[in-house]
Amino acid sequence: MSRLAGPVRVGGGTAPSRVLFGPHETNLARGRALADRHVAYYRRRAEGGAGVIVTETASVHPSDWPYERAPLAASCGPGWTSIVDACRPHGTLVIASLGHAGGQGSSAYHQSALWAPSRVPDPVSRELPMEMEGPEVAAVVDGFRAAAALAVGSGVDGVEIDAGQYSLLRQFCSGLTNRRTDAYGDRGRLLREVLAVVREAIGDRILGLRLACDEGAPWGGITPETAPVPGGIDYLVPVRGSAFADARPDLRTEPGFNLDLCRTVSGRTLTVCQGSVVDPALAERALEFAGLVEMTRAQIADPDLVRHLRAGTAPRPCVLCNQNCRVRDPRNPIVSCIGEPGSGHETEDLVAGAGGGEVLVVGGGPAGLEAARVLALRGFDVELTERADRLGGMVRVAARLAGRDRLARLVDWLEAEVRRLGVRISTGVETRAGDGRPVIVATGSRPGPRDYAVEGGRVLDVVAVLDGATLPDGPVVVHDPLGDWTGAGVAELLAAARPVAIVSPDPVIATQVRDIAGVNARLQRAGVTLVKRSRLRVVRRDHVVVEDVLTGERRELPCGVVIHCGHRLPDAALSGTTVGDAVAPRTIHEAVLDGRRAAVAL
Ligand code: SF4
């Protein structure tokens, strides 16, 4: 059996597997309390075999309110008890994460100055915090003590102290943020004091520590050599990151980016390896030096990860897109996943009984595949037709963009599942009408209208280009009115072979992409000309005309072909239940969710 799926001792407890579900922001709280949604979310991972669940970090003091629905420890007692009651029948250890974000928090909610060791503004928010005096430091220490006592009094198996990337304790430990000349100029002192009072409060319950061991800033920050790894703890989660090093990179960064750091600091206590570990094979390798592996996104993508390991079946993959599981977003969403839209929505999960009879699903993109998968699971006799030669739809197209190839794993998994479940599949087939069977129409999208004049030049749709259309000679102009991955991705891809310019109406390229700085840096490194704050107006044989959106000033750019990356429109000519892009072209998440809803409703 997989070693990962086997039990392990953690402090005085035994976890049923070596897979840890780490603390992460969920936005599932009601007010500042852990809520029914948390209970259902964690119960689902415990059912699926998680060995240890570390609950969302709770602020130990009201001076910390880093995001709107951030739990406050003083309000979490009943929630911790309910989570323990939900998870204990499965043997899962429940650990309460306790922290304070300090100068990396937000003053928007408590409307007071941020607390920090020194007056050093956070490079991300750029807000200048106040320097904590003795009473504030004492209040934080006492906050950790009281929160730990409340947590164990509520039944949890232990607590995990957050001295990770976004924490006041890291700020005290780091030369980047601690410039004090008093006793706390001894940078490890506050962490030692907190661990001492917490140990006293929790007795022999499990004490874990999440510790920033590499800030990516060797000129003054914590390095693996200087990381203040203490004694007296039951496990250590070494993490990388600060404002200078991305702690949660996306699919451009190889999974397991943190393994070397974990290996370096392992050996002193039970080590939990983390850092984009989403593949079971990689996790098994990490057990050469780690006792457990944190696989948080892997269990957001598939709550049954450990069950799959035990059964020898393939879990739904996490493709590291960070698209729906990061909740610090202007839309303030709750945690979810592009491939498993039920994640975060366990209290409202779709329930469907067994079904029967024949169903035709037209279209083999993510919406059609998910519909076919769920229908087959329910017992329907499902036929799936796809006009292209291969299943996967727009996901396969998106996976051809620079650095996005990992996306294809999701449709690979869906395809394998529908085949395993016996769905009859035909590709290269244009289906024009149903034949009396219920029909789910998942026929995707087509190019949308162009809002510029074409006076003799050549324009190609981006999907055709990614599908392998031959480009005419000459420079490429990428028309990118959306600012998502598509325009920037195709520009980066083509820049290896020819001059490329990307035209955007925005002041920076790719405004809708989370990693906006990374995207712009890569485009510049690739030599792409960034034509910002501009609209494409006219396409001619050897040039285009662009117009400044503010001044109206026009200028010409040399051009052999324009690649159109504008909005797409639904392509649904059949009658039936329409899903995914055939309703309105959106993201993979909405496509999968639409497909699932339609399959459940039948
Ligand atoms: S949204 Fe993307 S990164 Fe997040 S769990 Fe799902 S597949 Fe993984």
Give yes or no for residue 343 CB within 6 A of ligand 1: no
Q: How many CB atoms lie within 10 A of CB 533?
A: 16
Centre of ligand 1 to C-alpha 543, Å, is: 41
Centre of ligand 1 to C-alpha 155, Å, is: 31
Q: Give 209's contacts (C-beta < 8 A, 6+ positions apart).
A: 160, 161, 163, 195, 230, 233, 235, 236, 237
338, 340, 370: residue to mutate for ligand 1 pocket, most atoms within 8 A of CB: 338
For ligand 1, atom 8, name the residue with the nearest CA.
318
Which H/E stretch holds residue 84? helix 77-87
**How confident is the model at residue 494, as a pLDDT?**
96
Give yes or no for residue 337 CB within 6 A of ligand 1: yes
Centre of ligand 1 to C-alpha 156, Å, is: 28
How far apart (Å, rounded) are the C-alpha atoms in residues 105 and 171? 12
**How confident is the model at residue 328, as a pLDDT?**
83
Give yes or no for residue 324 CB within 6 A of ligand 1: yes
Give yes or no for residue 431 CB within 6 A of ligand 1: no
Residues of the chain with pLDDT under 70: 1, 243-248, 349
For ligand 1, atom 7, name the residue with the nearest CA.
318
Give yes or no for residue 319 CB within 6 A of ligand 1: yes
* Alpha carbon 420 to chain centroid, angstroms: 28
**How confident is the model at residue 349, as a pLDDT?**
67
Give yes or no for residue 253 CB within 6 A of ligand 1: no
DSSP string, 437-457: S-EEE---EEE----SEEEB-
Centre of ligand 1 to C-alpha 322, Å, is: 5
**How confident is the model at residue 573, as a pLDDT?**
83
**How confident is the model at residue 244, as a pLDDT?**
67
Centre of ligand 1 to C-alpha 401, Å, is: 18
Centre of ligand 1 to C-alpha 407, Å, is: 10
Q: Give 406's contacts (C-beta < 8 A, 6+ positions apart).
A: 251, 319, 320, 321, 399
Is 0.95 exceeded by the ipTM?
Answer: yes
**How confident is the model at residue 145, as a pLDDT?**
98
Centre of ligand 1 to C-alpha 8, Å, is: 27
Q: Which atom of ligand 1 is nearest to the CA of 319?
A: 7
How far apart (Å, rounded) are the C-alpha atoms in residues 141 and 41? 30
Give, in degrees to the nearest 5, the angle at Cα 372 between 366 and 374.
100
The domains of the chain, with CATH numbers, are 8-348 (3.20.20.70), 358-446+570-601 (3.40.50.720), 449-566 (3.50.50.60)
